[in-house]
């Protein structure tokens, strides 16, 4: 490789001791082509915990020096032309997310099985025929996507009790001929997609997976034609009930044969089957009633639709943003607001990787002064009235938070800190800070640290403006927003069903009163919000028809 001319992104990451590096698109691809590969100095950025190199068809291999990036937690190498991955990838012991989708891989290295912290593996859209033996050693694996390959089956050790966190298996559009009855050992399995394969049978043992909520076997030519018809049109529960009954029938048949007898009355069997089908249909109706409903209001249907303008300067700071407005969220009843804030904190800790991947902020729409501008400011120029504080500059706020963190350490005699103090290192060394500014010039959001007291949500909040920002990718923002909306729907349904009293926390000074009928409804309305560039050109609108579509088994979206 010719590294005489260093890549500016790599130099910047080294100089500023960054923990994230994203290289993607035609400009990077051109450099890879002329350089004969990636800039070798990338492999000396040992502080990195997130590395993405994507949409670069000239990238055909990754050098073995990647073994030096031992702090990596996310490695995204999608939409390239990688023909192989070095076995030393097994040295990345901290790796949690590995995305090798849309490449030219024909085999996965055995080193993948040494990634003990791995929880997400995506190798979809490659040319794989087999998966490596030993995946059961990845005991923290929760999601695997091997769709659109040429895989003929799962390795024997894949059906293992060790994979007790594995909840999602997507293996559609392969050549899989058999699903073992040992599938029931995957006790955490919630989603199983084996559509468009070569399956002839579905084992009845599948019905013994206690958490299974969504299955797809469409496009398989099954021997059981009734079952084939069901998988192309029925809900998951009906299919599992059928498999469960089929399994019991097989056991009874085996016993009958041993005793020298079989079922005696065909009419009786038909009556029993009809009774079971009726019960199953009733259960499906109950399940349908229990579904959460989210209605999407198109931006053209909102006379005062809110738009967020994005400045060009955010590109090098925190470029990705999606927003929407949520109506119908009942925060007034009982502990509804507290539950929502706790759920948001949990998403920050889990899906958002403690805000290193993405950050959520929520605002009271009634307090917003639009139009809004997503911009950057120098730390000394960014002023905000942070939650529960007086107005101060970002420099002053960061200094205060550092002092508070030190005081907490001394008081509690421990190394770790909590609250906002956990996120201070995310801004370390950055010359510009991202912020969301309203029409009055007030900063209402300072990601990934805090938002403003001015737009703080309360029990009386009727409409929420929700933003998700990220330095990772636009899809990351969308995935987090999807997850947040699902959680909001769940919480709203819980609040409606439990009919907590609006004044049960003592607010308002009067006796507790029940929530009114409008608050008792659990339906959410999501109003689309557009983000545009400084010239008014559309960047993204959320939600679009491709959003809110994954793992939504118990959520009905009405467009």
Q: Three-state secondary structure along 105-174?
A: CCCCCHHHHHCCCCCEEECCCCCCCCCCCCHHHCCCCCEEECCCCCCCCCCHHHCCCCCCCCCEEECCCC
DSSP state, residue 4: S
DSSP SS3 for 468: strand
Euclidean distance between the first and the last CA atom of the chain, given in angstroms as a whole number:
51
Q: 480: exposed, middle or buried (C-beta count within 10 Å: 0-12, 13-18, 19+)?
A: buried
Q: How does pLDDT run along the chain (559 residues), one tens digit per residue?
A: 444 577 998 998 898 888 888 888 888 999 999 999 999 999 999 999 889 898 899 999 999 999 999 999 999 999 899 999 999 999 999 999 999 999 999 999 999 999 999 999 999 999 999 999 999 999 999 999 999 999 999 998 999 999 999 999 999 999 999 999 999 999 999 989 999 999 999 999 999 998 888 899 999 999 999 999 988 887 888 899 899 887 665 544 444 444 444 444 445 544 554 554 455 454 444 444 445 778 887 766 666 678 899 999 998 889 999 999 999 999 988 899 999 999 999 998 888 888 888 999 999 999 998 899 999 999 999 999 988 889 999 899 888 888 887 777 677 655 554 555 556 667 777 889 999 999 999 999 999 889 999 999 999 999 999 999 998 888 899 999 999 999 999 898 888 877 655 544 434 444 444 444 444 457 899 999 999 988 888 888 898 877 886 555 567 777 6
> How far is 308 from 435, CA to CA, in rounded Å?
12
- Determine the 3-state secondary structure of 103 from DSSP: coil
Portions of the chain given CATH number 3.50.40.10 = 290-496+520-555
How far is 112 from 481, CA to CA, in rounded Å?
30
Correct CATH for 6-246 of 3.30.70.2740, 3.40.50.720, 3.20.20.10, 3.80.10.10: 3.80.10.10
Q: How many residues does the chain have?
A: 559
- Cα separation, 240 vs 215, whole angstroms: 9
β-strand pairing of 391-393 with 120-122: unpaired
Beta bridge partners of 361: 467
CATH 3.80.10.10 residue window(s) in the chain: 6-246
Fold of 290-496+520-555: Phenylalanyl-tRNA Synthetase; Chain B, domain 3 (3.50.40)
- Quote the distance between the C-alpha of residue 96 and its chain's center: 14
What would the two tokens of residue 67 be? Answer: 């073994």
Q: 408: helix, coil or strand?
A: helix
Closest CA to 357 of 200, 469, 504: 469
Contact between 197 and 175 (Cβ < 8 Å) = yes
Q: Say whether 310 sits in a helix, a strand or coil.
A: strand
Rg (the chain; Cα; Å): 27
DSSP classification of residue 196: S
**d(Cα 256, Cα 525) in Å, to the nearest integer?**
56
């Amino acid at each position: 490789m010719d590294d005489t001319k260093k890549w500016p992104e790599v130099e910047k990451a080294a100089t500023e001791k960054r923990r994230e590096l994203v290289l993607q698109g035609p400009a990077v691809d051109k450099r890879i082509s002329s350089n004969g590969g990636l800039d070798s100095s990338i492999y000396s950025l040992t502080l990195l915990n997130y590395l993405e190199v994507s949409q670069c068809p000239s990238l055909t291999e990754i050098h073995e020096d990647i073994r030096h990036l031992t702090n990596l937690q996310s490695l995204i190498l999608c939409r390239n032309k990688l023909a192989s991955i070095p076995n030393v990838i097994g040295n990345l012991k901290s790796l949690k997310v590995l995305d090798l989708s849309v490449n030219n891989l024909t085999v996965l290295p055995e080193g993948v099985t040494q990634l003990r912290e791995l929880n997400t593996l995506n190798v979809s859209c490659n040319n794989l025929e087999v998966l490596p033996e030993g995946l059961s050693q990845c005991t923290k694996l929760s999601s695997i996507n091997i769709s659109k390959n040429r895989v003929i089956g799962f390795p024997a050790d894949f059906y293992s009790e060790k994979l007790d966190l594995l909840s999602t298996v997507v293996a559609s559009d392969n050549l899989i001929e058999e699903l073992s009855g040992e599938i029931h050992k995957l006790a955490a399995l919630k989603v199983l997609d084996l559509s468009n394969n070569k399956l002839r049978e579905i084992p009845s043992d599948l019905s013994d997976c206690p958490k299974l909520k969504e299955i797809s076997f469409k496009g398989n030519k099954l021997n059981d034609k009734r079952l084939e018809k069901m998988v192309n049109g029925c809900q998951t529960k009906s299919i599992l009930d059928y498999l469960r009954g089929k399994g019991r029938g097989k056991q009874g048949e085996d016993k009958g044969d041993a005793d020298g007898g079989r079922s005696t009355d065909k009419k009786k069997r038909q009556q029993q089957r009809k009774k079971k089908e009726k019960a199953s249909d009733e259960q499906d109706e109950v399940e349908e009633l229990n579904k959460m409903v989210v209605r999407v209001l198109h931006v053209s249907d909102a006379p005062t639709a809110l738009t967020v303008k994005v400045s060009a300067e955010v590109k090098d700071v925190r470029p990705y943003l999606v927003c929407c407005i949520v109506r119908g969220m009942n925060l007034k009843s009982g502990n509804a607001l507290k539950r929502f804030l706790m759920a948001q904190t949990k998403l920050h800790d889990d899906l958002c990787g403690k805000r290193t991947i993405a950050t959520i902020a929520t605002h009271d729409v009634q307090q917003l002064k639009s139009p809004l501008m997503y911009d950057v400011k120098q730390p000394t120029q960014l002023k905000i009235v942070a939650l529960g504080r007086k107005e101060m500059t970002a420099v002053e706020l960061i200094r205060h938070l550092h002092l508070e963190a030190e005081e907490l350490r001394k008081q509690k005699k421990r190394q770790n800190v909590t609250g906002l103090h956990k996120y201070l290192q995310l801004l370390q060394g950055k010359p510009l800070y991202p912020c969301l500014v309203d029409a009055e010039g007030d900063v209402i959001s300072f990601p990934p640290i805090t938002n403003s007291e001015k737009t703080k949500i309360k029990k009386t909040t009727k409409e929420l403006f929700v933003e998700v920002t990220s330095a990772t990718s636009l899809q990351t923002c969308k995935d987090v927003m999807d997850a947040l909306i699902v959680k909001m729907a769940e919480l709203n349904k819980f609040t409606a069903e439990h009919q907590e009293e609006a004044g049960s926390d003592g607010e308002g000074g009067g006796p507790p009163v029940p929530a009114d009928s409008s608050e008792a409804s659990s339906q959410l309305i999501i109003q689309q919000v557009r983000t545009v560039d400084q010239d008014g050109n559309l960047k993204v609108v959320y939600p679009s028809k491709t959003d809110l579509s994954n793992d939504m088994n118990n959520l009905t979206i009405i467009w």
